[in-house]
Amino acid sequence: MRKHARLAALVTALGAVLAAALVGVVAGGWNLPASAHASLVASDPAAGQRLDRLPERVTLEFSEPISAPAYVVVTAPDGSRADQGEVRVDGAEVSVALGGSAPEGTYGAAFRVVSEDGHPVTGRIGFVVGDGPLDDAAPSATASADAADPAPASTTDGDDDGGPSLGQVQVGVAVALFAVAAGLLLWSRRRTR
């Protein structure tokens, strides 16, 4: 049927456009300076790690040297502050001493640092002391500290106050494109049936 053929052609064309757009977004994204900037590469304790007791320090390791001062706030399960004393900056490592009543449960270590080349990195990791559940969605220990926060957005690549990060934009666009593609596909099938 000519009508169906035309529809199929339309869907194919749309799909090609979407694919091209997606490639463009991803490739374009790699050229942005943001992607070359500092990110959290490891931490001790690691994100999502379960510990018998509160460690003496939390240490965050970034992909680039960090310029002082850096800010780290560690929140205990009861909402009290578990970080004590000054945040220490040593090259790419940022650490702060922990203390207090050390209740069991999930601890959140939020950080805000600026790399030596001027790039701000904000994020949060969670870890558990004792048998309590891990409340936060556990972030990976790599650059995606943005996954650590259930709030609209947290980021490691340059957005310090809530806008979507480059990664999120890339993913979002991709999801939207695929959603449209899927919708069209479904629509075309229903029509052909």
Partner 1 sequence: MPGGPRWDRRRVLRTGAAAFGGAGAGWSASALVANGSAAAAPTDGPARVVGPSAGAETVPVVGTHQAGVDTPPQAHLALVGWDLREDAGVVGLTRMMRLLSDDAARLASGTAALADTEPELAAHPARLTVTFGFGPRVLRDLVPAGRRPRLDELPGFDRDRLDPRWGQTDVVAQVCCDDPTTLAHARRMLVKDARTFAQVRWIQQGFRTARGTVPDGTTMRNLMGQVDGTVNLAPAEPDFDPLVWSGDDALAGGTFLVVRRIRMQLDKWDRVDRVGREVVVGRRLDTGAPLTGVTEFDEPDFAATDRFGFPVIDPASHVARARSADPRERFLRRAYSYTEPDPARSTGEDSGLVFLAFAADPARQFVPVQRRLDELDRLNEWVVAIGSAVYAIPPAAPQGGYVGQQLLEGKSTGEKSPS
Q: Which is nearer to partner 1, 12 or 80 (CB)?
A: 80
Q: Which distant-in-sequence residues (6+ apart) come within 8 Å of 7 by Cβ?
A: 188, 191, 192
Minimum CB separation of residue 165 from partner 1 in Å reads 10
- Yes or no: say if 79 and 105 are a contact pair by the CB < 8 Å rule: no
Q: Which is nearer to partner 1, 52 or 161 (CB)?
A: 161
Minimum CB separation of residue 36 from partner 1 in Å reads 9
Instruction: Please state, in angstroms and rounded to a whole number, the distance separating the CA atoms of residues 119 and 2.
Output: 56
For residue 20, count other CB atoms closer than 10 A to its CB. Answer: 10
Which positions lie near partner 1, rule CB under 8 A? 32-34, 37, 67-69, 71, 73, 110, 112, 114, 116-120, 122, 124, 149, 151, 154, 158-162
Q: Which is nearer to partner 1, 138 or 149 (CB)?
A: 149
Minimum CB separation of residue 33 from partner 1 in Å reads 5
Minimum CB separation of residue 2 from partner 1 in Å reads 52
Q: Which is nearer to partner 1, 139 or 177 (CB)?
A: 139
Minimum CB separation of residue 41 from partner 1 in Å reads 19
Q: Which is nearer to partner 1, 63 or 188 (CB)?
A: 63
Report CA-CA distances (Å) from 164 to 35, 40, 48, 160, 167.
14, 18, 23, 10, 8
How would you classify the pairing of strands 83-90 and 93-98? Answer: antiparallel
For residue 187, count other CB atoms closer than 10 A to its CB. Answer: 12
